[in-house]
Amino acid sequence: MMKINLTHSQIDLNTLNLEEKIAEIDAMITQKSGAGNDYLGWVDYPLHVDQAELKQIKEDAKYVREHFDTLVVCGIGGSYLGARAVYEALKGLYPEDPFKIIFLGQTFSGTYIEQVLRVLKRRKFAINVISKSGTTTETSIAFRLVKKLLVEQIGEEEAKKAIFITTDKEKGLLRPLAKEGYRTYTLPSDIGGRYSVFTPVGLFPLACANIDVDSFLLGAKEAMQLYANPNLKENNCYQYALTRYAMKEKLSKQVELFVTYEPHYQMLSEWLKQLFGESEGKEHLGIYPASCCFSTDLHSLGQFIQEGNPLLFETIIYVDKPLHDVTIEKDIKDEDQLNYLAGKNLEFVNEKAFLGTLDAHANSGNVPCIVIELDSLDERSLGHLLYFFMRACAMACYLLDINPFNQPGVEVYKKNMFKLLGKK
Ligand code: PA5
């Protein structure tokens, strides 16, 4: 169960008079008629998942787990963040599973890549290279290096059975490899990277990690059915989108701070930052997406949030039931004076930190807060949550008259970099 609490948001949706606009935009999303409509394939994708491909993904994942101890996922941006966010949110940062997922292709750091390659020399690994375009330099470089290592380890023919490609249906530099005998999964042409977590981009690595992809897709499907509703009063997803829109329009807030209370949700915040940042941040508009993990960051950025420049609002994702819990035991000496917590779980402590911080920020600090609360985070609720944000993001962009699905600004650095690198 997912609840959205707008009590601390300082926004009264009834005074905005945007119900009709919301209904109009909902029709644009459902009928795929808005700006960038050739990239609205994700909207009803949970209903149209290619079942044959899904079956293949599960079989291949089983094969990978049986024959290898590691999957190297090569990708960046939307071709990486979703899978990593879900993997870490569901498994934690130090999973017990001896089968490991290692992420590569998201950096030019020679230190990072060389250290990963050193680790891989001692592991039996398969590769999933994910790139819609097949031309993304970070991913291409990493794939070239890791493929060379794999071929050195097991030879060309065996390597073919250990490399899995996820790319555009027709276009791109990786597609021709399908003809050379590599298993290739399809990222549909009408779905962009940051909206692709429910496609093989997310599903194959997650299936390899033994994550229940059927439940994940079910959660997305349920969210799709729930939020395809033009009635603002009944639609939490659009209420969230409109509230954050009003944060900027009515309260002049420039920054949305995504807050979590679990370190293994930090990649979820990274996924959210990309989703909103690349979708909304154009034409000199948009809210800057940032993130904090509490209580860790209460000891660094907490001071700024409480009393600094009032430029931000918070969107807090709070999950009631953690993946694991620990009880604080009674200590006879009580030298650390913690016996007042004896018998209590860390879930209890974390919850009190959440409630105390909400009160401090929303009431004493006058920071508007949106709270999204979930009973627990499993495959199904996470599928629901990610779809919720994708649809809210599309709504948020259309409220600003922005195309949510392009990212023209990203090309500027690439052009300069290629010139400096001497690329023809
Ligand atoms: O959301 C997006 O479209 C981008 O973040 C891309 O996913 C990212 O740039 C990677 O592109 P590609 O999949 O073509 O390698």
Residues 73-94: pLDDT tens digits? 999 999 999 999 999 999 999 9
CA-proximal residue: ligand 1, atom 2 (nearest):
193
Atom of ligand 1 nearest to the CA of 201: 13
Ligand 1 centroid–CA 213 distance in Å is: 22
- Mean pLDDT for the stretch of residues 105-122: 97
CA gyration radius, the chain: 22
Supply the DSSP string of 279-311, one letter for each residue. HH--TT-S-EEEEEETTGGGGTTHHHHHHS---
The vertex-215 CA angle with 389 and 354, nearest 5°, equals 50
What band does 209 get if pLDDT is binned at 50, 70 and 90?
very high
Q: Annotated catalytic sites, by residue?
A: 278, 299, 414
Q: Identify the residue whose tokens are 């995504």.
A: 258
Predicted confidence at residue 169, as pLDDT, reads 87
Q: From 108, 132, 190, 271, give the residue whose CB has the most ligand 1 atoms within 8 Å, as the site to mutate.
A: 132
Q: What's the token pair of residue 3? A: 């609840």
Ligand 1 centroid–CA 129 distance in Å is: 12
Tens digits of residue pLDDT in 172-203: 899 888 778 899 999 999 999 999 999 999 99
- Mean pLDDT for the stretch of residues 219-241: 97
Within 6 Å (CB) of ligand 1, which residues are found? 76-79, 131-133, 136, 139, 192-194, 278, 407
Ligand 1 centroid–CA 324 distance in Å is: 33
User: Nearest 5°: phi and psi at 271?
Assistant: -60, -45
Pairing of strands 125-130, 312-321: unpaired
Higher pLDDT, 411 or 117: 117
Tens digits of residue pLDDT in 242-295: 999 999 999 999 999 999 999 999 999 999 999 999 999 999 999 999 999 999
Predicted confidence at residue 387, as pLDDT, reads 98
Supply the DSSP string of 350-407, one letter for each residue. HHHHHHHHHIIIIIIS---EEEEEEEE--HHHHHHHHHHHHHHHHHHHHHTT--TT--
Pairing of strands 163-168, 255-260: unpaired
Ligand 1 centroid–CA 133 distance in Å is: 8
Atom of ligand 1 nearest to the CA of 172: 14
Atom of ligand 1 nearest to the CA of 130: 13
Tens digits of residue pLDDT in 371-397: 999 999 999 999 999 999 999 999 999
Q: For a pLDDT cut of 90, what percent of the chain falls above it?
A: 96
CA-proximal residue: ligand 1, atom 12 (nearest):
131
C-beta of residue 169 within 8 angstroms of C-beta of residue 41: no
State the DSSP H helix or E strand holding residue 272, giving kind and residue range, or none if neither: helix 266-280
* pTM higher than 0.85: yes
CA-proximal residue: ligand 1, atom 15 (nearest):
131
Pairing of strands 70-74, 125-130: parallel
The verdict on whether omega for the bond into residue 252 sits within 30 degrees of 0, i.e. cis, is no
C-beta of residue 368 within 8 angstroms of C-beta of residue 362: yes
CA-proximal residue: ligand 1, atom 9 (nearest):
77
Predicted confidence at residue 197, as pLDDT, reads 98
